[in-house]
A and B are shown apart, each in its own frame.
Chain A
Amino acid sequence: MNLELIYPVFILTGLVIIGVLIYLRSLTQRAMRTVLEMIDLNTKLEYDLHQFLSESLPLFEKLKINDFFYTIHYLDTTLQKPKSRPGKPFEKNIQRKDYKITIGIVPRHSRGEQDFLNTIVLEILSVIIEMNVLIKIKVIHEALYKFSKLQTFILHDVKNLAQFIGSLSYNVHHLETDEKKDRFIDYLKETLPVISRSGAKIIGLLEMHGEADDENSPGISVDLNSLLENLAKHYKMPCAIKGQAIIQAEEYMLISIFDNLLKNIYEKSLQESDVSCHIELEDLGDRTRVVISDTGSFTAERSRLFEPFYSTKKGGLGIGLYQAKNAALTMGGDIRILPRTSGVAFEVILPKPEEG
């Protein structure tokens, strides 16, 4: 064999191989760039499944895909786009307990190297869609869970209030004697602060995340000593109060803060013996500082105590302390937990509105 003929054949073959590799590289790069665009789009749309399905359609054109079809079923919702163009489809089915996904693409060309890329595109697309479905399910479950906790939190007081009104109405119609009338009024006098506390708690919760409106809601002058004494009395807790403070604020906001903090100590006192509470009030000029501490056990996970829907108690909703912190922040103040070796100490800082 003439060796002189073999060299050009080798060179030609080498050139063809290089040409094919360059072609495949450019094909793959183009496809991967578009797939990355698809991933970026999904991130930009915050993993919203509906938006991704509609806004990703132009990218399929870039990938030389004529048609994209799907049937996605999750949480009693079905999203569907049937196959509308002719051609050999590439399909993928995913079936899990909470969802079922069928997606397919119809490529413009169906050659060897294109088939390989089409399979990769389909796999990546299915991962994106499955991830979005999972996020959607998780978000919905969490929202329902949180809603149900909030509902439980409010319903407990609202149902008691409704029962109170029903019983009150019954009693009003059964005041046959003067002695009964007097006793009825005595009961009402004794319990009205509790009713207004319940009302404040409900309003405080419904107004969570509200903006403080200084112009329209200057509040009233509230004697913090008296408010804290009454709350501690309500929980039948011996509470030593040091210092004096008067603050200009909406009373229901203050009740939202201090009722939740004292309730926390009261509930601890039902599970542990000899738990007492201490309150210190301090005027810092432009702010008022209140420290509420207990002598009970050390609470683990202090950093998470204000986290919404987090509770260290079995059956706890994790709303009380979150509501207290939220009310303090709305007023332009804050609550934090002071480092202590035993018990828990809450430091409440509340601003004093400027005079005049």
Chain B
Amino acid sequence: MPTILLVEDDMALRKQIRFSLEGDFSILEAENRKEATELLKSHPIDVVILDLGLPPSGDSPEEGLIILSSILNQYSSKVIILTGQKTEGIALESIKTGAFDYLMKPISMEKILFSIERAILFKNAEEELEKQGIKKITLDVEVGKGLQTLRDEADKHVILKVLRDTNFNIYQSAKILGVKRESLYYFLKKFGLKRTHES
């Protein structure tokens, strides 16, 4: 049964969404970043339904966007934003960061369920492709900046993804990428890639 993490500070709403989903999915609940982070560390989660307006800054999307970025940097979970924050800028930033979907409250449960089903389908398909050695990377580049920028961005993303998968093991990463270790060090320097606590 796929696992869904509901990150929503409104307990009444969280419980109703939980009730709608718990027949078909295993449900976990969090009402702030701390709880969400602990659950993500301790459970394999397929889909996160994330409210952006969370405490301590419940009236701005700041906290939600931090969680979104953190999930996408560390886990393969798909993130569906379910929020009342209505500005094009926030939606754009969420999609750019890598959110799977952006749903505006109030929205019907049927649409939420549809989005979850699609997210699980995409996640399963990506996992299947990964087994075949095909990795999906997402690039945000300005086409007008030319092919070199596009190539550099693609190189950077592939290297970063392999490094994360190997837990920053240079020997293994070089082997997977089919390059010498020296070349990998060159790329690390070129793209300014460093191991941080989060990565």
A187 near B57 with CB under 8 A, answer no
Chain B residue at smallest Cβ distance from A234: B11
Query: Which A residues are CB-close (under 8 A) to B110?
Result: 170
Q: A187-B19, A268-B56, A270-B34 are in contact. List 20 more A-B contacts (CB 8 A).
A: A156-B58, A159-B106, A160-B13, A163-B105, A163-B106, A166-B106, A167-B19, A168-B16, A170-B20, A170-B110, A171-B19, A191-B12, A191-B16, A266-B55, A267-B56, A313-B56, A313-B57, A315-B57, A315-B59, A316-B60
Interface Cβ pair total, 8 Å cutoff = 93
Minimum Cβ distance to chain B for residue A204 (Å): 16
**Residues 279-320 of chain A, each 1 if its beta carbon lies under 8 Å from chain B, else 0:** 000000000000000000000000000000000011111000
Which A residues form the contact surface with B (CB < 8 A)?
A: 152-153, 155-156, 159-160, 162-168, 170-171, 174, 183-184, 187, 190-192, 194-195, 198, 234, 263, 266-268, 270-271, 313-317
Contacts of B1 in A (CB 8 A): none
Binding site for A on B (CB under 8 A): 10-13, 15-20, 32-34, 53, 55-60, 62, 82, 84, 105-110
B12 and A194 contact, CB distance less than 8 A: yes
Which residues from chain A contact B55 at a C-beta distance below 8 Å?
Answer: 263, 266-267, 270
Residues on the B chain within 8 Å of A198, using CB? 10, 12
Check A166 against B12 for contact (C-beta < 8 Å). no
Provide 29 A-B residue pairs closer than 8 Å at the C-beta atoms, listed in order of the A residue: A156-B53, A156-B58, A156-B84, A159-B84, A162-B106, A163-B13, A165-B106, A166-B109, A167-B13, A168-B16, A170-B109, A171-B16, A171-B20, A171-B109, A174-B20, A184-B19, A187-B15, A187-B16, A187-B19, A191-B12, A191-B15, A267-B55, A270-B33, A270-B34, A314-B57, A315-B60, A315-B62, A316-B57, A316-B60
In the bound complex, how far is the Cα of B20 from the Cα of A174, in angstroms?
8
In the complex, A190 Cα to B11 Cα: how many Å? 9
User: Which A residues are CB-close (under 8 A) to B105?
Assistant: 159-160, 162-163
Whether A164 lies near B10 (C-beta < 8 A) is yes
Cα distance A234–B57 when bound, in Å?
Answer: 17
Q: Could you tell me the distance in whole angstroms from the C-beta of B87 to the nearest C-beta in chain A? A: 10
